[in-house]
Amino acid sequence: MWWGVGAALVANALYSVGFVVEKRALGSLPALSAGRPLHVIRVLATSPLWIVGALALAAGFGAQLVVYRALPIAAAQGIFVSGLVLLLLLSSAVLGEESTGRERYALGGVLLALLMVVASVREGEDVVSGGAPWALVLLVCLPALAAGVWLYVRVESRAAKRHRVPTSGIGYGVAVGLLYGVSSLAIKGTSSRLTSTDLGEAAWSLLASPYPYLLLFTAGAGLVMSQAALQRCRASLIVPVCTTVTCLFTAVLGTLAFGETLPDDPLLLALRVGGTALALSVLLAMPRHDPQPAAPS
């Protein structure tokens, strides 16, 4: 269990560094639009600094594969949320982004939710699932993908209207979070397929499943959508929202899809369910728009 916790903390650090470096690089790049995906990829490929950030995220993906071999889905998501602390520290120190008082209170709520989820984990009592029925995984993932793309397009169209109050990025974060939630389930499924010592057998088992194809779609669409949104909005807001949605989606639907049981102890069950509910309520209470800049005197 504990080496899985260590891998999760490493993944947190890599993801936080990757997002902050990408945000720093995006500040010097031309305006990106998710409606022009090939242009987005060409522009990103010309930035060495952005590539460094992308490599850090890729390394975090590798660490996440290790996590899902050692920890139950719900417990892993609770630990992943702790990466928000490092992200906010880095975004303040490196990017100069300042959070509002309301957002700092929201962060405190998320951290409390994290502690509740982690406290609900007991070594030897939680069972790590080895797989899930493909039909059930697709039943969970395909509607989420459709909802994420639809929400992103809707936020884009509303943000394009003149005289509109600047969006804080909540809608973007929820949309991308849904895609990354599907990606997280696909990572979990991929880790369950890489158990054979025969490389050919493991590769065939993986390619015969829907997981690599879900990963390809979420990687491509998530890359374009997340970078366009990250360029327009504060990393200290959009990434926590995206992370919260991803973790909640994976913890709740992933636990059901992969058949991982909840704790039998009433106290542990209350901590895990209560922590998930608290994180969701914090997300719903966050401001939808950035404050208007003060008019010049």
The span from the CA of 297 to the CA of 284, in Å, is 35
Confidence band of 267 (pLDDT split at 50, 70, 90)? confident
Is the model's pLDDT at 8 over the cut of 80? yes
Give tens-digit pLDDT for 120-175.
766 555 555 666 777 888 888 999 999 999 999 988 887 766 545 455 578 888 99
Confidence band of 281 (pLDDT split at 50, 70, 90)? confident
Residues 6+ apart with CB under 8 A from 241: 169, 170, 173, 174, 177, 283, 286
Among 291, 167, 222, 247, CA closest to 22 = 222
Is the model's pLDDT at 296 over the cut of 70? no
Residues 6+ apart with CB under 8 A from 160: none
SS3 263: coil
Mean pLDDT for all residues in the chain? 79
The amino acid present at 210, given as its one-letter code, is P
Expressed in percent and rounded to 5, the helix, strand and coil fractions of the chain are: 75, 0, 25
pLDDT at residue number 225? 92
Buried b (16+ CB within 10 A) or exposed e, 230-243: bbebbbbbbbbbbb
Find out whether 14 and 66 touch, Cβ atoms under 8 Å.
Answer: no
pLDDT at residue number 1? 62
Give tens-digit pLDDT for 86-131.
787 788 778 887 666 666 677 777 778 767 876 776 655 555 566 6
Give tens-digit pLDDT for 164-217.
545 557 888 899 999 999 998 888 888 777 766 667 777 887 788 888 899 999
Distances from the Cα of 14 to the Cα of 9, 11, 134, 245, angstroms: 9, 5, 30, 19
Side-chain half-sphere CA neighbours of 62 within 13 A: 7
pLDDT at residue number 217? 92
Give tens-digit pLDDT for 19-54.
999 999 998 999 888 888 999 999 999 999 999 999
pLDDT at residue number 167? 56
Question: What is the Cα gyration radius of the chain?
Answer: 19
For residues 221 and 198, the model is more confident at: 221
Among 43, 13, 34, CA closest to 226 = 34
State the average pLDDT over residues 221-226: 91
SS3 167: strand
Strand partners, 167: 289
Residue with tokens 């909640």: 248
Is the model's pLDDT at 297 over the cut of 50? no
The amino acid present at 159, given as its one-letter code, is A
SS3 126: coil
